[in-house]
Amino acid sequence: MFTVSANGANIPALGFGTFRMPDEDVARVLPEALKLGFRHVDTAQIYKNEAAVGDVLSKSGIPRADIFLTTKVWVDRVGHSAFIASVDESLAKLKTDYVDLLLLHWPQSEMPLADRMGALNALKKAGKVKNIGVSNFSVALIAEAVKLSDAPLATNQVEYHPYLDQTKVLAEVAEHGMSLTAYYLMANGAVPGDAVLKDIGAKHGKTAAQVTLRWAIQQKDVVALSKTATVSRLPENFDVFDFVLSEDEMQAIHALARPTGRIVNPGHLAPEWDL
């Protein structure tokens, strides 16, 4: 495992994501992921599984300092007091005094961005949060969030996979010393059967999924979130550090991007995306 350093945050390049994982799946799969070597765990208030994640981490025997834990504040936490209280609630569920990274989950909220960034900074000053960042932010919103924040931002967590070109977002986060954290890397199940990715994988003795995870973490300052509810798949997701894609292979994967590649686009939450 290697780490991505971004504005003081040292983020394990491969994380275990818990999106759409009910408590029983978290309890069953996350302990095995930790045994394999995963040390970056990603959750969110809206996932409704923070307590299950906290339970597994507290029972794991792994020192808290060795885990990089991310959660995200949902858009309905409106007003400084409600925002802060929601994070205190998250910390209680996660059975920890702090999270390593706290993100604004989506840009659209009734709480102005300036106030939300102020709350993130207050939590960082209080020691409840080691690093702060955003999720699903466009180039313009990244720039605005950076201006509104006293503390530097560590990441923008966004949908990213071979079918979605995120060149503009990558350039913007680089401009501010941030990382990009990629979610939905399997593109809703399109990746494992992709002929180009399978062909590249065959040359390395790897699957299309492993090729895609490697493609992500091989890019400068990109962190990849993997996710599975199938314990037998965990070793496949973790075994991506023993091969390197050639520049031609990287470009062949980038070439899969298409204008219609975006999958996650909830109109009541999403910004105006970069074209």
What are the pLDDT digits (tens) for 158-180? 999 999 999 999 999 999 999 99
CA atoms of 161 and 174, how far apart (whole Å): 18
CA distances to 97, 106, 236, 266 from 157, rounded to whole Å, are 23, 10, 23, 15
In tens, the pLDDT along 178-237 reads 999 999 999 999 999 999 999 999 999 999 999 999 999 999 999 999 999 999 999 999
pLDDT of residue 134: 98
183 is catalytic: no
- Residue ranges for the known binding site for substrate are 105
pLDDT of residue 87: 98
Exposure letters 57-76 (e unless 16+ CB within 10 A, then b): beeeeeeeeebbbbbbbbbe
The mean of the pLDDT values for the chain is 97
In tens, the pLDDT along 187-198 reads 999 999 999 999
pLDDT of residue 1: 77
Q: Are 159 and 190 in contact (CB under 8 A)?
A: no
pTM assigned to the model? 0.97
Q: Which two tokens stand for residue 221?
A: 């300052």
In tens, the pLDDT along 92-151 reads 999 999 999 999 999 999 999 999 999 999 999 999 999 999 999 999 999 999 999 999
In tens, the pLDDT along 24-56 reads 999 999 999 999 999 999 999 999 999 999 999
Residue 104 CA, distance from chain mean position: 12
Q: Are 113 and 145 in contact (CB under 8 A)?
A: yes
Which residues touch 185 (CB under 8 Å, ≥6 apart)? Answer: 160, 161, 191, 212, 213, 216, 224, 225, 226
179 membership: H or E segment, kind and range: strand 179-183
| Confidence band of 275 (pLDDT split at 50, 70, 90) | confident
Q: Which domains does the chain have, with CATH numbers?
A: 3-254 (3.20.20.100)
Q: Is the pLDDT of residue 64 over 80?
A: yes
Query: 47, 160, 163, 184: which one is catalytic?
Result: 47
